[in-house]
Amino acid sequence: MSGAASRLAPHALLQDRAVAAYLGLAIGDALGATVEFMSTREIESEYGVHERMVGGGWLKLKPGQVTDDTTMALALGESILNSGGIDARSIAEAFDAWMRAKPVDIGNTVRRGLLAFRSTGVPAVPLSEHDAGNGAAMRVLPVALATLGQSEQGVREACRIQAHVTHHHPLSDAATECLALMVQAAVQGADLAQLLHRYAYPLAGEHPAFVFRTKQRRSNPSGYIVETVQAVFQALFDSDSFRGCLVDAVNRGGDADTTGAIAGMLAGALYGTAAIPGAWLKALDPAIRLACARQALALVAMSGMAEPAPAKV
């Protein structure tokens, strides 16, 4: 490898993993949505192991169709690209426009926060014990990519700005920041053990509610951020492939589109596009696939960590 090529390689790796994180988010969402709100037992009796992009579910989706987890992340990414940064008002307006366009589903805390923004004009909700849902964590990916190369403190602050538009709770904040930092590390080449020791264990050390290395398998995770993180971390750290991680996550049932989306984001960032099963990629809504790939590259370019990709990519 020439000197020039070896210097370019980390950028190519970073771009590939950023795209894979976005595609993973969307694929996990679409795969999990089929079994959202089903119990592990119900999934077993209907599918054996659920591992195909077949759509359906309580939202009656087309195969490969995504839900709010992906479309909110794309709305957030558009806001970041259009405003040139992480701006609370721009984000709130983007989410409000997203809600007005009648998304296929919407979380209660998101709806409450956006209705508050409409009536007060303030793009941040106050601290609330009711805001520990997973809605801020599920959409954090564009912030993670746009803030690559910034200080950890800067990344954490950016995460909280986007989170507090609808969710303001210490456990939501801690998880959202941790997931963003994990994505950043993974797209820059960190391996599974490094993610475990540098981020997942410290999160559980600081907030013991998140402890995930227990004998109890976290099945049927609710929308509570603690249960989401436990299910995702168990799936991620007890598997060694993109496919294995996602199949494990979504077959736990419960809020399966969201655990699938977050697990897919992390596994994509970790394993790259080559690890994504072709059948899943092919089944993903083509417009979403394109939007995810474009946005990932644009956000990485915005961070200054890699040159804009050639137009043909």
Based on the shown chain and the rule CB under 5 A, indicate whether residue 177 belongs to the binding site for Mg ion: no
Phi and psi at residue 56, to the nearest 5°: 80, -140
For Mg ion, which is the closer residue by CB, 16 or 257?
Answer: 257
Nearest distance, CB of residue 236 and Mg ion, angstroms: 18
Contacting residue, 67, 166, 230, 234, with Mg ion by CB under 5 A: 67
Based on the shown chain and the rule CB under 5 A, indicate whether residue 109 belongs to the binding site for Mg ion: no
Based on the shown chain and the rule CB under 5 A, indicate whether residue 173 belongs to the binding site for Mg ion: no
Based on the shown chain and the rule CB under 5 A, indicate whether residue 78 belongs to the binding site for Mg ion: no
Q: Which one of the spans 68-76, 117-125, 170-178, 236-244 is the region binding Mg ion (CB under 5 A)?
A: 68-76
Cα–Cα distance for residue pair 52/54, rounded to 1 Å:
6
212-219 — which CB contacts under 8 Å span 24+ positions?
212/237, 217/252, 218/252, 219/39, 219/40, 219/252, 219/253, 219/254
For Mg ion, which is the closer residue by CB, 163 or 301?
Answer: 163
Based on the shown chain and the rule CB under 5 A, indicate whether residue 162 belongs to the binding site for Mg ion: no
Confirm if 191 and 136 have CB atoms less than 8 A apart: no
For Mg ion, which is the closer residue by CB, 258 or 295?
Answer: 258
For residue 82, count other CB atoms closer than 10 A to its CB. 12
Q: Which one of the spans 62-70, 151-159, 286-294, 303-311 is the region binding Mg ion (CB under 5 A)?
A: 62-70
| Range list of H helices, the chain | 3-33, 40-47, 68-83, 88-100, 108-120, 135-138, 141-146, 152-163, 170-187, 192-195, 201-206, 225-237, 242-250, 256-271, 278-283, 286-303
Which residue of the chain is nearest Mg ion when measured via CB?
A: 67
Based on the shown chain and the rule CB under 5 A, indicate whether residue 227 belongs to the binding site for Mg ion: no
For Mg ion, which is the closer residue by CB, 69 or 248?
Answer: 69
Number of residues lying near Mg ion (CB under 5 A): 6
Based on the shown chain and the rule CB under 5 A, indicate whether residue 257 belongs to the binding site for Mg ion: yes
Based on the shown chain and the rule CB under 5 A, indicate whether residue 70 belongs to the binding site for Mg ion: no
Q: Which one of the spans 69-77, 154-162, 198-206, 271-279 is the region binding Mg ion (CB under 5 A)?
A: 69-77
Closest to 251 in 3D by CA, of 227, 278, 229, 231? 231
Contacting residue, 258, 273, 295, 303, with Mg ion by CB under 5 A: 258
Closest to 141 in 3D by CA, of 24, 250, 280? 24
Contacting residue, 123, 255, 260, 298, with Mg ion by CB under 5 A: 255
Cα–Cα distance for residue pair 68/105, rounded to 1 Å:
6
Cα–Cα distance for residue pair 94/139, rounded to 1 Å:
13
| Residues paired with residue 61 on neighbouring β-strands, in sequence order | 56
Q: Distance between the two ends of the chain, CA-based, in angstroms?
A: 23
Identity of residue 92? A
Contacting residue, 16, 25, 69, 173, with Mg ion by CB under 5 A: 69
For Mg ion, which is the closer residue by CB, 68 or 131?
Answer: 68
Based on the shown chain and the rule CB under 5 A, indicate whether residue 285 belongs to the binding site for Mg ion: no
DSSP 126: P
Nearest distance, CB of residue 205 and Mg ion, angstroms: 27
**Site residues (CB under 5 A) for Mg ion?**
67-69, 255, 257-258
